[in-house]
Amino acid sequence: MIGLLIFLNIFLFCSSLKLSDEINNYENKINALHRENLILDKKASVLSSLKFAESMAPFLGFTKKNIPAYLEKLNVALKY
């Protein structure tokens, strides 16, 4: 009976060691994913910023200033 309890105790101890290794492995993976998420978040904020849009505008054919269009004659007027 005591031999069975000792064996059971050793088995539970080894199982708990294996589970703790798995938990550590998952924690390391979570930390790596968290770091990668922070990097991707920073890249996304840079790509969505106005400075990035301003730097890419000349390559995409946008002009810096808009030329205003004035209406010389209004053909339609509001009647009261």
Cβ-Cβ contacts under 8 Å for 64 (sequence gap 6 or more): 57
Q: What percent of the chain has pLDDT over 90?
A: 49
> Is residue 31 one of the residues assigned to a domain?
yes
Q: How many angstroms separate the CA atoms of 29 and 43, rounded?
A: 21
Q: What is the pLDDT of residue 43?
A: 92
Q: How confident is the model at residue 27 (pLDDT cuts 50, 70, 90)?
A: very high
Q: What is the pLDDT of residue 9?
A: 93
67, two tokens: 């030329």
Whether the per-residue pLDDT at 78 is higher than 60: the answer is no
Output the average pLDDT for the chain.
85
> Is residue 12 one of the residues assigned to a domain?
yes
Cβ-Cβ contacts under 8 Å for 57 (sequence gap 6 or more): 64
Q: Domain span at residue 31? A: 2-60
For the full predicted model, state whether its pTM sits above 0.75.
no
Quote the Cα angle for 6-8-25, to 5°.
120
For the chain, how many structural domains are there in total?
1
11-21 average pLDDT score: 94
